[in-house]
Amino acid sequence: NWQQASLDLSPFVGEQIRLAFNLWSDAAQTADGWTIDDVAVFSSDFDTPPLPPQARLENPAVGSFQSGIGIISGWACEAQEIVIELAGTPVPAAYGTPRGDTQGECGDSNNGFSLLVNWNNLGPGEHPVRALVDGVEFARTTVRVTTLGSDFLKDVRRTVVV
């Protein structure tokens, strides 16, 4: 039987608290105990935080390998600014390109964003990528960059017999 319970935390306003859920038994019981689901902590003063943005980071894929010139892209329903943070450095992305596939979710279609990136500038190794709508993070991933030792490969020739 599910039961809804609430607890008034107003005596702790302004303090940091930790919520803990404990199940005690005398070892005579063999039932599963209880399950906690849908815990919510909120303020009744109507000062609720904003909802997370409706947005998706589509490229790069989580854990993908990157090298050379590539693109970071996705969409966001409502934004003044899209910022992509590469290894801790914020870079504004172009925003507002047509994306007909977002019409149903966003109510309009000018929601695309993109940023051309030279992954080699980050150097070899794993690098974090964060995407933000108006300063609010909506996606985070890590990419693995492989370089050939320079930002741009130049003066290299190769002959291939086909």
What is residue 155's predicted lDDT score, i.e. its pLDDT?
A: 73
- Domains, the chain, in order of start with CATH, read 55-145 (2.60.40.10)
Q: Which long-range contacts (CB under 8 A, 24 or more apart) does 90-96 make?
A: 90/132, 91/115
Segments of the chain with pLDDT less than 50: none
Instruction: Return the closest-CA partner of residue 140 out of 152, 130, 127.
Output: 130
Residues 85, 156: Cα–Cα separation, whole Å: 32
Query: In this predicted structure, what is the pLDDT of residue 157?
Result: 77
The predicted pLDDT at position 126 comes to 94
